[in-house]
Amino acid sequence: MIDARGLACPMPVLKVQQAVKKDHPVTLEVMVDNNTAVQNVTRFANNSGYAVSVKELEDEEFSLTLTKK
């Protein structure tokens, strides 16, 4: 699980990128706290072969589940 809440872009994407390159996870959960991070992480994940499921937990707090296609 990557907690990227409070981090400005591009840091959430960079954290996900590092985890994907290092561990090649089948699934990965990412926590972010702004729509821009949701969009950027989703774009990166889709381009890297992952499907993304987004859940809004609270106002401006999101859980993204990345699953390898």
9 labelled catalytic: yes
Q: Which CATH number goes with the domain that contains 53?
A: 3.30.110.40
The total number of structural domains that make up the chain: 1
Give CA separation, 21 vs 25, 35, 44, 47, 57, in Å.
9, 24, 12, 13, 27
Single pTM value for the model? 0.94
Q: Cβ neighbours of residue 30 under 8 Å, at least 6 residues apart? A: 1, 2, 4, 12, 15, 16, 41, 63, 64, 65, 66
pLDDT at residue 58 in the model: 84
pLDDT in tens, the chain (69 residues): 999 999 999 999 999 999 999 999 999 999 999 999 999 999 999 999 999 999 999 888 999 999 999
pLDDT at residue 59 in the model: 85
Parent domain of 61: 2-68
Q: Which of 7, 9, 19, 52 is catalytic?
A: 9
